[in-house]
Amino acid sequence: MKTMKKSNNSTPRRASRTLNTRGQRQAIVERNTTESQIRIALALDGTGTRRIHTTIPFLDHMLDLLAKHGFFDLTIRAKGDTHIDDHHTVEDIGIVLGEALKQALGKKEGVRRFGTAWVPLDETLAQVTVDLSGRPYLVYNVKLPHRRIKGLDLYLFEDFFQALSTHAGMNLHVNVPYGRNPHHILESIFKALAKALDQAVSVDPRVSGVLSTKGSL
């Protein structure tokens, strides 16, 4: 599995705040570089309330689906050097969202840890499985029949998922066995990710501490 590295010589400035009281698993993370300025507020125990503006409409749509179907309260404000390319903004949002997820989970006590979902959308079927193991790894088996939607390079979504996996400390497996329409393919992926994460972050009263024989995640 190839490792994607950030090509940014600037030092990012970060500000973060976490609330981990029961029923308030929340985090606010900011990241500011010469390439992008991003602020994300995430509440895991939400209702799907979202306020998302990234300056990339299709990405807004995908993140909107993630919040709605995962029952996460999500606020994202982002802007970047999209006059050069969308890459920095898309990848950096993945970085900040991953950090927000990791912080909101705290010590991961009581969480189910694993989640998986199959989601159809017309001719497309997507399957996403996650493990909040603390070990980042991305498997991305997705073939897109077309590379662009309204000028947006859809290959950037692999970079987004790589950044999300790395900074959340999460195993993330994305598989699309079939599909024809690239919009449908990506939409079904984000919906499946939402449902898998909803399972994985859910608290199970049977879990004492963390769900690991090692005693930590």
What phi, psi does 17 have (nearest 5°)? -145, 135
What local confidence, expressed as pLDDT, does residue 215 receive? 86
- Name the H helices within the chain: 57-70, 87-105, 156-168, 182-201
pTM over 0.75: yes
The closest alpha carbon to 180, from 125, 98, 101, 100, belongs to 125
- Tens of pLDDT, residue by residue over 72-125, are 999 999 999 999 999 999 999 999 999 999 999 999 999 999 999 999 999 999
Structure tokens at 9: 């010589």
Domain spanning 13-201: CATH 3.40.50.2000? no
- Tens of pLDDT, residue by residue over 138-197, are 999 999 999 999 999 999 999 999 999 999 999 999 999 999 999 999 999 999 999 999
Structure tokens at 36: 């992008």
Q: Does an H or E element contain 152, and which?
A: strand 152-153
In contact, 156 and 138? CB cutoff 8 Å: no
- Tens of pLDDT, residue by residue over 123-139, are 999 999 999 999 999 99
Rounded CA gap, 49 and 26, in Å?
Answer: 13
